Structure formats: structure tokens, C-alpha cells
Amino acid sequence: MNTSNRSANPDRASILEICDKEQVRFLRLQFTDILGTNKNVEVPRSQFEKALGGEIMFDGSSIEGFVRIEESDMLLSPDLSTFQIFPWEDSRGKVARLICDVSMPDGTVFDGCPRSTLRRITAEAAEMGFRAFLGPEAEFFLFMRAENGSPTTKTHDHGAYFDMTPVDKGEECRRDIVNTLAAMGFEIEASHHEVAPGQHEIDFKYDEALATADNIVTFKLVVRKVALDYNLHATFMPKPLADVNGSGMHTHQSLFRGEENAFYDPDNEMQLSETALHYIGGLLAHAKGMCGVTNPLVNSYKRLVPGYEAPTNIVWSEKNRSPMIRIPARRGIGTRVELRMPDPSCNPYLAFAVMIAAGLDGIRRKLDPGPSVNKNVFDMSQREKRRLKIGELPENQFEAVNAMEKDSLIRETLGDHIFNKFIDNKKIEWSRYHTHVSHYEMDKYFPILAC
């Protein structure tokens, strides 16, 4: 089964030929740091041959979570199948990109490369006879900018879920984002206004795990770039506004054996295979440990609260959207598991790696997910949840990092380098947040405690 829009095994010569024919003047070599931030080294036409050969070095000591200053030189190893010419106009000449893995100077894989981490996990799935396919739904907000260009939290619509608001910058911007993504080979399935004012969702077709992670990285870049063209600020922050729904990244997942969906069994209950049930069992078993990666920010846990449709309970269902895992109604080739807790601030390479690893662990260990809970979990009492053995996701980043440290599978999946750097970063983030005196505290306590 092949859904990818990537070029069919391009080689250096064909890419150079395309660049010259299309008058490409600059080539971006893209990668992400451990936190998922897009980075790039851009080279002019004179350096294209070296770039395609993986000969471009950069200073890894300047990148979050990479290497010490004593061992800073690193190589960018491009994946030629990711070659794309950006469709927007640039007076300085056309710009193309290649997504890269990060390597050591001797060419060996760098332990801190998020993309290589996901590649390793998909190789483990292949050894078990599976190909992992994912389809994320990354939500985002569009906010207006002030006269000086700084972002505000003001929106120019009051739309809600699926609303058809009067044409405004948000609607026009979303359409241009769709057109730009389509020009870059994305198969767009739907776009619509989300629940909160200024909140949007654009869904593109699922693909194999590595290609999907690359697509999310590209998707974020395009959304931000087009928004800027409209003098708007696009954010993938999970909870930018306190009293409305936050932005999630529900991730649909399935495993294939050849052309067959390994999650589908027409003769089993709910038409879910034992493989699917064990995969669900793995996601449930490692939910708390995964949360630090799939929901990495202090702000992430202000989305994962009751009352705003985001899941807070570690449970699965085939019929409702309140649990952490939902089974969409489609069967056959479309049988899939929807993990609803991730948010779009995560590093997609690391988030997908821990999701797949958790599911594979469930298959290896034949973990039982327990019965499907089809009652609205949000309406249950704590007593009923305890009776059904329904656990809860971490309430804050501190709890999530502690759970992550205790989960040996998450450490094994990320590797010691990424795991330790990630944990260190998140502990610093929590410490700074925990000691910060907020506007809330000043507004609430300062007036009443005055002399």
C-alpha cells in the first residue's frame, strides 16, 4: 500500500536538473531539534552538489539538545525523496528544500536526531511484519497582529465548529494554506473552522509514519508562512485562550501487513483484530509515560482539563469521543485507532516514535485493553471510574515528566541522549514556570494583601 506523494527514488542528477530547469537559487536543508523546532541551513546554487552528497556541516552545539561545544561539527544527510520547490514567489529566486537526518562527522547516525529515532522504530515495526500509518489532525489558531507587528490574542471571527462565517482574513488565509499545501503534493481531505473563535483545522491524507512526521513539519511551516502573508499570527500553542477549547493533534494510527490492514478482522467482536486490541493495550499501558512527549509543554496540561472536550481519562471507546482512545466507525482498510491526547506543540518524530513503540509493546506482550467504555466518561463519578479501573492522565507537566522517567520503554525508544536532554529541558521549564509570579497572582493577591 502506497499513499505517499514523494518523488519516486529521485537521484542527485535528476534533482540538479530540476533545480536548473526551474531556476532554483537556494536550497534549504531542514531538520528539527529535540523539541521539534524547525531548523535549516540554506545554501546557494554553487553548493547544491555538496548538499545533495551530505557534505554540509553545521554547528550542533548551537542546537537545543544536540552536542557539547567540544564536539560541535555535525553533518546534514538529506533524504532525497523529500525534495520540494516552495510554491511561493521570492524576488531573490526560487527556493527548494530537503529534509535531513543529522549525522556525526564520520557519517554514523547521531543519537540525538529525532528523525533517525522514528526511522529506527519503524524499522522495528518492519521486523515484526508491519508498516505503521498515521493521520494527524493538527489544529491551530489565527490571531491578529498589532500595528507594530507583534501578535495579539484577538481574532476576527466568532465562528464555531464547522461554521460558515462571512469571508474574512481567517477564511481566506485557510484557503491559501490549502492551496499552498496542495501545490507541495499534499492530498487535502478537509478544512474547516474549529470550535473556538479563530481556531482552524486542515486534514491531509494519512501516510507512513516518517512521511507523516515530515508532512507535519512542512504543514507547520506553510501555516505560519501564509498567515504572515495575511498579517496574521498562527500558533500551534495547545491552549492560547483560557475559556475556550484548546488545540489538539488527534492521531489516527493503523498497522499494515502488505496491503492488508492488520487492525481489521471481520469475524472478531467490533471487527477489531487481536493485533488492534493489543496495540490499544500498549497505548493505554504507556499513556502516562508518553504524555511528556506527546504533550510536552506546561501549557499542554491547560488543554487536558475537563469541560473542553480534551481527554483526561486513560480508557478506550468505539462509540464516543470522551476517552483517550476512540475507534472511528470505518472498517476494512480504514480500520484505525485514534489517540486523542497529543497536541500540535510536540515534536512529531518523537511523538510518533513513542506511540508506535507503545503499540508494538502491547502486541509483543499481548496486553489486554479491557472492555470498551461507551458511556460518556466526562459524566462519570470518581467512584464509577475507580470501579471500571479508569486511570487519569497527568494533571501537569511535572507529573508527566515523572511518569516519563519511570517508563523504561519511553527511555529505550528515545535513547539515552534524547531522553536525558528532553527530561533536563522539561525540568528547567517546569522550574521556571513554578517560580514565576503570574498576572493571576498579582490580580488576586496584591490588592487584598496591601497594607
Active site residues: 59, 137, 139, 194, 201, 250, 321, 338, 340
Is the distance from CB of 7 to CB of 28 less than 8 angstroms? no
Amino acid at 92: R
> Environment class of residue 225 by beta-carbon count within 10 Å: exposed (0-12), middle (13-18) or buried (19+)?
middle
Residue 69, burial from CB neighbour count under 10 angstroms (0-12, 13-18, 19+): exposed
Contact 105, 57 (CB under 8 A): yes
- Judged by phi (left if over 0) then psi (alpha if -120 to 50, else beta), residue 328 lies in beta
Q: Please state, in angstroms and rounded to a whole number, the distance separating the CA atoms of residues 7 and 29.
A: 17
- Give residue for cell 479508569: 390
Alpha-carbon span 283 to 289, nearest angstrom: 10
Among candidate residues 309, 39, 2, the one with its CA nearest the CA of residue 131: 2
Distance between CA 376 and CA 68 in Å, rounded? Answer: 50
Interatomic CA distance for residues 34 and 296, integer angstroms: 11
